[in-house]
Amino acid sequence: MDTRERLQQEIESTRMAYHCLLDSLPEEALSLPSDNPAWNVRQVLYHIAIIPRYIIVEVVAIRRQVWLYMLLPRLIPKGLFDWLNARMTQLGARGMTRQRLAKTYDDSCRAALRALDSVPDADFDRHLYYPLWDPLLAGEVTLEYLFGYVKRHFDSHAAQIEKASY
């Protein structure tokens, strides 16, 4: 199995795991606090759901070696990044139903798979240095590692939901 096939399978299995997690939660659990102090369960599910969609931006940045990534930590310190991430997620999750969360994640995974299809095999080792905002996506990030972020990100936040008491 080559890199592309492995990553496709990983994204698809992560998509299925998201649906299993979502289906396992009683409706009242969506409004309960998660193990993440910034978000309730619905907000964490929304945050998980939107992240794969943004991979295309990261693919372009890595393939074109966008120098702005070296300036980002100076322009946006980690504290501001965390605050913006928390607030944008809280706002975006308002009114999200179970069905909309599921559709959002499916659409997001399709976008990530399209981005994966756009990467030539020879480019999977291309890299860019990321700011230390997210320990799961920091330092030297290759395109291969970037696509693995879909699973790492899901696993990290799914654990926060599973620790919530409902």
Q: If pLDDT is split at 50, 70 and 90, which confidence band does 93 have?
A: very high
Give the tokens for residue 100.
């909309």
pTM for the whole structure? 0.92
pLDDT in tens, 59-75: 988 888 777 767 777 78
End-to-end CA distance of the chain: 40
Q: Which strand (E) or helix (H) includes residue 28?
A: none
Return mean pLDDT, the chain.
Answer: 92
**Domains along the chain with CATH numbers:** 3-162 (1.20.120.450)
Which band of pLDDT confidence, cut at 50, 70 and 90, is reported for residue 13? very high
What pLDDT does 74 receive? 75
| pLDDT at 56 exceeding the cut of 70 | yes
What pLDDT, on the 0 to 100 scale, is given for residue 137?
A: 86
pLDDT in tens, 99-146: 999 999 999 999 999 999 999 999 999 998 888 888 898 889 999 999
The string of DSSP codes covering 61-82 is HHHHT-THHHHHHHHS-HHHHH
pLDDT at 161 over 90: yes
